[in-house]
Amino acid sequence: MPGMNPIDSALLTDLYQLTMLQTYFERGMRETAVFELFVRRLPPQRNFLIAAGLEQALDYLENLHFADDELRWLAECGHFGRGFIDELAALRFTGDVDAMPEGTVFFPEEPILRIVAPLPEAQFVETRLVNLLNFQTMIASKAARCVLAAPGRLLVDFGLRRAHGAEAGLLAARAAAIAGFAGTSVVLAGPRFGIPLYGTMAHSYVQAHDDEVAAFADFARTQSGPIVLLIDTYDTEAAAAKVARLAMRLRREGLRVDGVRLDSGDLADHARKVRRILDDAGHPEITIFASGNLDEWRLRALVSGGAPIDGFGVGTELVTSADYPSLDCAYKLQEYAGAARRKRSEGKATWPGRKQVYRLRGDGRGPAHDVLTLCEDAHAGEALLRPAMRAARRLAPRASIALMQARTAAGLAALPGRLRALEKAEPYEVRVADGLRHLAAEIDARTAAATAKDLAD
Amino acid sequence: MPGMNPIDSALLTDLYQLTMLQTYFERGMRETAVFELFVRRLPPQRNFLIAAGLEQALDYLENLHFADDELRWLAECGHFGRGFIDELAALRFTGDVDAMPEGTVFFPEEPILRIVAPLPEAQFVETRLVNLLNFQTMIASKAARCVLAAPGRLLVDFGLRRAHGAEAGLLAARAAAIAGFAGTSVVLAGPRFGIPLYGTMAHSYVQAHDDEVAAFADFARTQSGPIVLLIDTYDTEAAAAKVARLAMRLRREGLRVDGVRLDSGDLADHARKVRRILDDAGHPEITIFASGNLDEWRLRALVSGGAPIDGFGVGTELVTSADYPSLDCAYKLQEYAGAARRKRSEGKATWPGRKQVYRLRGDGRGPAHDVLTLCEDAHAGEALLRPAMRAARRLAPRASIALMQARTAAGLAALPGRLRALEKAEPYEVRVADGLRHLAAEIDARTAAATAKDLAD
């Protein structure tokens, strides 16, 4: 059955979601469950995270269903009974979602998404929700560091070929745009998300011509978009000199060379030499674009070193979040059938109950900080989790990339300055409200008593 | 147009592939091109790589076409002329593919795939081919290290939630199986690839019950598959004692507890204590399965330390190849219109021409090594690149996971012993044949002469 597309398939889940559901259905455990998704701790080189992926999470919840061929396979695989397959055939997501809007700056332990739904539904969606939100949040957070490292420069996602598969390539373009990237090379991100597309040419294009100048001239004469010529296939400075002479000839034909691209060697050194060659030949208008193993640290070094580079293509390091390619992202049961719940596994304990995050801007009376509290305990400040879906219906139209980009920019600007540095800084303060601490202690006492009773029985 | 699915869409490519094609078509550059895909260098902690992803690459080539809505968007996006859109509507892959079979052990600079096709086709497929082969090869290579680190143990892929999107989650399960994993938690990998499925239960399942023993008993009584109980939600050893007592009760009902799962804390210490508790209670048949931040190094430490653990769930570290989440994978033009080509960018020079890799087993006369040579220069040894597609037709049916798994196992067994260590070892020897060196030198001389002439003109 090769037709099952992982992006749409309800079978893109962990086996245990299905086995647990089988027990829930058989035991009639269908009361309301509250799950929250959060990141346990920051990766070593992060001072903040940027929430992203909510749009795809809501798409998933809206469309969740098992297709006929999927049900057939499940019925025959030997793990499940007939009655369970009928339950799955009817399974839809019917619940509520509250979430931080995409582009919101957030911190560890803060829920970015809350699901309230009958237990089987709320349980089942775990795997794909984590899969979607973990990835885009991770990439947006990495991309925001690139934006902070290269203020005012054009940043373009060039990572598709080294992204982990098709969906990662497409959604990395989206997450980077939310964080402030100007665009992407991924064509599909144009029609799907309205993200501006950028591109130059490949070395193979230059090599396919017997002559580098002919390759450049052919390209300039056949394109309607911007002309950015790749000049490092053989000898960067020699190619820059060729471009300078060619640009003069093309100008007489009414054509304009917009830029050159460097993709290897010492980018700062090549950029200075190429800038000089172009300027000396009377082409200050030709911009320099650079790519090749760039990350936020190399961007900062190039920019702060004064390299005359106007824009950067950032690829592998961005779309794989190469220094830390995952977040410690968890989706945990916080309440079932009206009672708050808490996981206490070593190093993985969670805060129980339905929670809200309030953000308080710093002022004369104290520094900026967040407060993590139970929903029922209202607090001063901006409430970060907002209603996104009620009874499986979206509450708002899709947010534009521009809006999410603006939210990220405002969130970064409002951060205490130390947290905008690439280096690890003293953490942002997230206060846990007393009511929440009391609830956690109460549940621990109850669980300990139950365990003692079990063992004594 | 939210219907464009990245896994099928011809728009899942870099913009420059389309702009280059526009020039190729307009200039009539449709002669035969030869591209080869290879890895430039090994990641820091790898002694070998395992080729994987060919099946999906061939699927892509077979199905390549632009859908009507995609063509409409391209026509309206402003980058392209009408004539070019018509060319794209007719674009199919018509060429030949030679490749290393999946599961083949290989080394840097060795092509694992060669495309021979008219230039526009061969160029266009670059982005997705690299995207597919880079990912699965990277994961299979990481998974093979896990297999070497935990010989004889059951290894299961548990990474879906932290994989980079849907396709990465599904294909990581496939790549891990090729490398020797026994199975995966990804349900879709069952119907799509015939990979055995494994699963236990989540902490939320235990938490949703008021009582841990009731949670275990309910699960055991409602499942038809294996029963593996998660025992670290509250107190691991207390839960092990509960399981021991419950297993006795269930046995009287004709039910069997197959295993327990540990997911936090010091796994070796918990495993020893839990083993003792189970054995003392007369349950040597209950196995111990462990998960939680495992990678090849932790697997080796647990196994060599004698921890009584029968199987492992390996997740995030595997499916993100966390220590190095990309390969330096390139797809380069080696010949066009009958003439060999060579990229010479700093640190990125390639070996020109159509190449073959021969593997020579070690014997009394010398060590095992590979020879990289031009196809026309036949050599002793096993030729690793084999015909996979001719005129866009597959030459063989899909290989089974079992066959590819056997190929990996044989390849690993035949490696010089030092390369099977987790630590970086003296590299495997890949000899470059004289004919190939001469061709590279010849092309360099020709290019240098052309550059000198250009600048003198």
Please tell me the predicted confidence (pLDDT) of residue A102: 98
Residues 112-171 (A) with a CB less than 8 A from some CB of B? 119, 123, 126-128, 130-132, 134-135, 158, 160-171
Mutation test of the interface with chain A: which of B211, B221, B243, B326, choosing the one with the most A Cβ atoms within 10 A? Answer: B326
Span between the terminal Cα atoms of chain B, in Å? 51
> In the predicted model, is pLDDT for residue A421 greater than 50?
yes
Gap between the Cα atoms of A182 and A176, Å rounded: 9
**Burial classification of residue A30, based on how many CB atoms lie within 10 Å of its CB (0-12 exposed, 13-18 middle, 19 or more buried):** middle
Find the residue in A nearest to B331 (Cα).
A204
Residue in A closest to B206 by C-alpha: A343
Gap between the Cα atoms of A211 and A223, Å rounded: 19
Q: Where are the alpha helices (DSSP H) in B150-230?
A: 165-178, 189-193, 203-208, 212-222
Burial of A33-68, coded b for 16+ CB within 10 Å and e otherwise, reads bbbbbbbeebbeebbbbbbbbbbbbbbbbeebebbe
Residues 6+ apart with CB under 8 A from A119: A24, A29, A30, A31, A32, A33, A336, B208
Separation in Å, CA of A327 to nearest CA in chain B? 8
Q: Can you tell me whether residue B159 is helix, strand or coil?
A: coil
Give the C-alpha separation, B34 to B14, whole Å: 20
pLDDT, residue A388, reads: 98
Alpha carbon distances (Å) from A202 to A160, A246, B35, B328: 14, 19, 13, 16
For helices B296-304 and B267-280, angle between their N-to-C axes, nearest 10 degrees: 40
Q: Note the pTM of the prediction, 2 decimals.
A: 0.97
φ, ψ at B236 (rounded to 5°): -60, -50
Residue ranges of chain B with per-residue pLDDT less than 70: 1-3, 451, 454-455, 457
Q: What is the pLDDT of residue B3?
A: 54
- In contact, A174 and A193? CB cutoff 8 Å: yes
Would an 8 Å CB–CB cutoff place A15 in contact with chain B?
A: yes
Q: Per-residue pLDDT tens for A25-73?
A: 999 999 999 999 999 999 999 999 999 999 999 999 999 999 999 999 9
**What proportions of chain A, in percent to the nearest 5, are helix, strand and coil?**
40, 20, 40
> pLDDT value at position A2?
42
| A196/chain B closest Cα distance in angstroms | 10
- Among A241-245, A431-435, B141-145, B208-212, whose mean pLDDT is lowest? B208-212
How distant, in Å, are the alpha carbons of B43, B138, B178, B430 from that of B49? 10, 7, 12, 14
Scan for tokens 């349900």, then name that residue: B187
Confidence of residue A457 (pLDDT cuts 50, 70, 90): low
Residues in A closer than 8 angstroms to B225, CB to CB, are 19, 78-79
Q: Which residues pair with B335 in a beta bridge?
A: B34, B340
How far is Cα B287 from Cα B156, in angstroms, rounded to an integer?
15
Number of neighbouring beta carbons within 10 Å of residue B400? 11
Minimum-distance CB partner of A208 among B33, B225, B348: B33
Give the closest-approach CA distance of B1 to chain A in angstroms: 6
> In Å, how far are A90, A153, B116 from A352, measured between CA atoms?
31, 44, 59
> Is A214 in CB contact (< 8 Å) with chain B?
no
Asked if pLDDT for residue A454 goes beyond 70, the answer is no
CB A374 within 8 A of CB A353: yes
ipTM passes above 0.95: yes
Whole-angstrom distance, CA of residue A359 vs CA of residue A340:
24
The chain B residue lying nearest A31, using CA atoms, is B208
Give residue A103's pLDDT band: very low, low, confident or very high (50, 70, 90): very high
Distance from the Cα of A376 to chain B's closest Cα (Å) equals 21
Cα-based torsion angle of the residue sequence B309, B314, B316, B318 in order, rounded to the nearest 10 degrees: 130
Quick one: average pLDDT of A431-441?
95
Are residues B9 and B67 in contact, defined by beta-carbon separation less than 8 angstroms? yes
Q: How far is CA B131 from each of CA A170, B65, B367, rounded to the nearest angstrom?
A: 12, 18, 34
The string of pLDDT tens digits covering residues B123-169 is: 999 999 999 999 999 999 999 999 999 999 999 999 999 999 999 99
Predicted confidence (pLDDT) at residue A114 exceeds the cutoff of 50: yes
pLDDT tens string B353-379: 999 999 999 887 778 999 999 999 989
In whole angstroms, give the CA distance from residue A263 to residue A362: 43
What strands lie across the sheet with A329-336, from one edge to the other?
A339-340, A329-336, A32-39, A113-118, A96-99, A386-390, A393-394
A274 vs B343: CA distance, rounded Å: 20
Q: Count other C-beta atoms under 10 Å from residue A175's C-beta.
A: 30
On chain A, the residues whose CB falls within 8 A of the CB of B119 are: 208
Nearest to B131 among A161, A188, A454 (CB): A161
Band of pLDDT at residue A3, cut at 50, 70 and 90 = low
Spatial separation of the C-alpha atoms in residues A310 and A288, rounded to whole Å: 6
Q: For residue A454, give Cα distances in angstroms to A339, A450, B241.
A: 20, 6, 10
Nearest CA in chain A to B130: A161
The alpha carbon dihedral of A213, A214, A219, A222 has a sign of: positive
Paired tokens of A331: 């989706």
Say what percent of chain A tops pLDDT 90: 90
* pLDDT exceeds 60 at position A111: yes
Cβ–Cβ contact B23 with A under 8 A: yes
C-alpha Rg value of chain B to the nearest Å: 26
What whole-number distance in Å separates Cα of residue A163 and Cα of residue A171?
10
C-alpha span between A292 and A397 (Å, rounded): 38
Name which of B1, B167, B346 is nearest A6 (Cβ-Cβ).
B167
Q: State residue A350's pLDDT score.
A: 85
Q: Which residue of B has its CA nearest to A118?
A: B208
Domains of chain B, CATH where assigned: 15-138+327-456 (3.20.140.10), 140-319 (3.20.20.70)
Phi-psi region of B278 (alpha: psi -120 to 50; beta: other; left: phi over 0): alpha
